[in-house]
Amino acid sequence: MEKMKAGIIGTGNISTAYLNNGSQFDSMEIVACADLDVERAIAKGAEHGIRGCSVEDLLADPEIQLVINLTIPQAHAAVCLQVLEAGKHVYTEKPFAVTREEAREVLELAERKGLRVGSAPDTFLGGSIQTCVKLIEDGWIGTPIGATAFMVSGGHESWHPAPDFYYQRGGGPMFDMGPYYLTALVAMLGPINRVTGSVRASFAERTITSQPKYGQKVKVEVPTHVAGIIDFAAGPIATVLTTFDVKGQSHQPPRIEVYGSAGTLLVPDPNNFEGVIKLNRAGSNEWQDIPLAYGFTQNARGVGAADMAKAILTGRKHRANGELAYHVLEAMHGFHDASRDGKHYEMASTCEKPAILPLKQGLEPFGLD
């Protein structure tokens, strides 16, 4: 099958996973990487056997049709616009953009130019979440009633080499980790009608304890504890907590539980592609382990971009698409808006539930339909 040539802009931590997986997809081949620091791009390219270059050189390359944007959140929209202006499809890391206005500008430009936009997270295409989607669609828990989702953390300053941006505009636990949880919930339960929430920044500054910035102080500019409620269009109600403010050990609540009229589904960490699924059906005292029915059970970051490339080549809709990413972005802002305004936030956008993958897809070499 024809492979779409792709390039990466941004050679920070996350680029390694994309570059490691890039050669394994049957629809996409990563041929170049670029960065504002050209020397870093050249070094990263040499490490993975591809060309490292400047951003301008990558965008001018007629061979590259798809660009994967792995820059920091504050740059996501600007780089996406730059890629689209260069006549190339773009897939960006999460969050889709910092503001709704920036995100709409990206979507509108793509539509005018007849180009595709996609966005992480793509972990909902992993074997665990896809199996959960299948269980819900096949009625194993009956009619979905509600869900809970918890992302409990002490923050990234203890391990990340450059954690500053997690506490700046576009950061915080909701914009960093919320996309994984909300995208998984939308994949399982469908689009959102409204949200409400309460948010706070519990600490005015953070002290970095990782290298190489050990001891440096970071000013906190965004809420770091976000508690929200989601009303889904189909009826279920979910409770969501994302926090960077838990300084002791939490009791490790379940990542996601989905409740239905006939049972409860324990959903694995949506930041991963694999995990143990447990099902408890009404009338039973036993939790049943459910085997994964889908592939992509290893770290397959980049599968969303590969699915986008396959969709472009075959003329279908891609799953990690801009419509879904915008809907999730709006909901994340909605929690913050609701807290500020003291009322529910009514969603202006909607989206389709992403099409479920065919059973047992995603084995080596990575394949998609």
Q: Which of 79-93, 119-133, 351-365 has the lowest mean pLDDT?
A: 351-365
Residue 265: CB partners within 8 Å, gap ≥ 6? Answer: 132, 135, 136, 140, 141, 257, 258, 277, 278, 279
Percentage of the chain beyond pLDDT 90 is 90
- Residue range 324-351, pLDDT digits in tens: 999 999 999 999 999 999 999 999 999 9
pLDDT at residue 218 tops 50: yes
pLDDT at residue 248 tops 90: no
pLDDT at residue 53 tops 60: yes
- Residue range 59-101, pLDDT digits in tens: 999 999 999 999 999 999 999 999 999 999 999 999 999 999 9
**Interval 274-283 mean pLDDT:** 95
CB 143 within 8 A of CB 231: no
Among 32, 49, 332, which Cα is nearest to 185's? 332
pLDDT at residue 251 tops 70: no
Task: Give the model's confidence band at 249: pLDDT under 50 very low, under 70 low, under 90 confident, else very high.
Answer: confident
- For the chain, which residues make up each domain, given as ranges? 4-123+300-321, 124-290
Q: What is the pLDDT of residue 75?
A: 95
**Interval 240-255 mean pLDDT:** 85
> Is 124-290 in the same CATH topology as 4-123+300-321?
no
- Average pLDDT of the chain, as a whole number: 94
**Interval 248-261 mean pLDDT:** 84
Answer whether the bond into residue 144 is a cis peptide, omega within 30°.
no
As a whole number of angstroms, the distance between CA 233 and CA 222 comes to: 29
As a whole number of angstroms, the distance between CA 15 and CA 44 comes to: 9
> Considering the entire predicted model, what is its pTM?
0.95
**Interval 293-321 mean pLDDT:** 95
Task: Give the model's confidence band at 369: pLDDT under 50 very low, under 70 low, under 90 confident, else very high.
Answer: low
pLDDT at residue 366 tops 50: no
Q: What is the pLDDT of residue 360?
A: 67
CATH 3.40.50.720 fits 4-123+300-321, yes or no: yes
Looking from the CA of 109 toward its CB, the CA atoms found within 13 Å total 21
What the block records as the tokens of 49 is 């056997």
pLDDT at residue 364 tops 70: no
- Residue range 151-193, pLDDT digits in tens: 999 999 999 998 998 999 889 999 999 999 999 999 999 999 9
**Interval 250-255 mean pLDDT:** 74
pLDDT at residue 36 tops 80: yes
Q: Which superfamily, per CATH, for 124-290?
A: Dihydrodipicolinate Reductase; domain 2 (3.30.360.10)
